[in-house]
Amino acid sequence: MAISHCNRKSTTSDFGGCVGVAHPSLDPGRLDEFSLIEAYFNRPVTRSDVALGIGDDAAVTSVPPEHELVTTVDVLVAGVHFHQSADPRSVGHKALAVNLSDLAAMGATPAWATLGLVVPDVDRSWMEGFSEGFFALASRHNVDLVGGDTVRGPLTVMVQLSGWVPQGTAMKRSGARAGDDIYITGCLGDAGLCLMDINGAVELPRRHAVAVREALDYPCPRIAMGIQLRALATAAIDISDGLAADLGHLATRSGVGAEVSLADLPLSQPYQAHFAEIGWEPALSSGDDYELCFTAIAENRARILALGERFDVAVARVGTITADRNIVFFDRDGSRYIPPRAGYAHFQG
C-alpha cells in the first residue's frame, strides 16, 4: 500500500523542510546544517579501519578478525544532564566521556563514534567549544567521529560509541562470585560535592570548588585500566549513578551480595575536608563519577594494585562479594550504614 508523504523527510530530519510545520529559517549569517557539519564535525579520519566516514548515508568500518563489536549510547539532555549554560567544551568532553566509560567497563578498545545533535539554533561559539571538547578527548583515545545527525530542537546530545574486544573476553556485570574482592578506581563523590556547591548546600573554598568542578565537567574514562582488567576482573561496571546503585546492579546481575567498608572508600582531599558536612552520601549516591567498580579473586590483588601504579590511577579495595544477595555498608565504627537513597534515578517519583 502506498503511504502518502513517504518521500518526504521526517519531522525530525533536519533544519530545512518539516512535514506540516512552518519552520523558522536560520538567522542570516548563521550556518545551515551541512555547513555546520563541515565546519565543526567533518574532520579527516585517522583510523585505517574506517573505510567510509562522514559524508555518505552511513559509515563503513571493520572490526579486527576474531574480535567482537561492543556498542554503547548515551543521551545528554540540557537541564537534566548538564546545565543549559554549561561550558560547551565540557559538554563535548562529557558526551564522549560517558560512553568511553561504558566501554572501559566492558574492557573494550574504543574506535568509532556517531553524534546525534539536537540544537535550538546554530550558535557558533557553542559549536566551537563543543567540538573542541569532543575532539580533544576523541583524539586522546584514538576515536574517529564517523557520522551523526543534526536537527533543530531542545538542546540534546547523543553519542554512540563502538569498539571491540577479542572474542569472548568482554567484562560483564554478571561474573562476580562470593569471596571476590571489590575495587574502585579514582575517587568517589567529587561530582556530587560540586553539585552541592553549585546548589548552595555547601560552600567550598575556591581551590576545592575548582578541583571538584574538574571532576564534574571533565570525567576521566578508565580505558587503559579496563583493557588490562579483562584478564584480571571477574565483573565490572562503571559508576554513573552512584556506587550504591551501580554495585547493586553488578550484584544483581551476578546473583550475589556485597559488604563494603566505608573507611576504605577513595575520597579526594576536598571531600575529606568537608566530610563532617556531607557524610557518605555524595560518594555512595550521587551520579557522575565515571569510575570503575570491579571484582576479582584474591589471588590477583598484587597484579591489580600494580596496574593502578602502571596507569597512575588510584585503585582502592573496598569490600568483598558475599553469597547472600544483600549490599551492606559498614561505617568506620563497624555499625551498618544505610544510604538514604540508592542513586540517581530518572523515573523515581
Binding span for Mg ion by CB under 5 A among 49-57, 162-170, 212-220, 224-232 = 49-57
Grid coordinates given for 41: 564535525
Which of 57, 299, 312, 333 is in the footprint of Mg ion by CB under 5 A?
Answer: 57
Between 14 and 68, CB nearer to ligand ADP = 14
- Give least dist CB 221 to ligand ADP, A: 20
Sign of the CA dihedral running 77, 82, 84, 90: negative
- Give least dist CB 59 to ligand ADP, A: 7
331 touches 261 (CB < 8 A): no
- Give least dist CB 160 to ligand ADP, A: 11
206-217 and 190-199 helices cross at what angle (nearest 10)? Answer: 120
- The site string for ligand ADP over 80-119 (x = CB under 6 A, - otherwise) reads -----------------------------------x-x--
List of residues 6+ apart from 128 with CB closer than 8 A = 40, 88
**82: exposed, middle or buried (Cβ count in 10 Å: 0-12, 13-18, 19+):** buried
Residue 188's closest CA among 123, 69, 270, 87?
Answer: 270
Residue 184's closest CA among 313, 65, 69, 92?
Answer: 313
Residue 60's closest CA among 75, 45, 41?
Answer: 45
Binding span for ligand ADP by CB under 6 A among 50-58, 228-236, 268-276, 303-311 = 50-58
Q: Which does 55 bind (CB under 5 to 8 A by kind): Mg ion, ligand ADP, none?
A: ligand ADP
| Site for ligand ADP contains 37 (CB under 6 A) | yes
Residue nearest to ligand ADP (CB): 148
| Site for ligand ADP contains 309 (CB under 6 A) | no
Binding span for ligand ADP by CB under 6 A among 70-78, 82-90, 141-149, 300-308 = 141-149
Binding site for Mg ion (CB under 5 A): 57
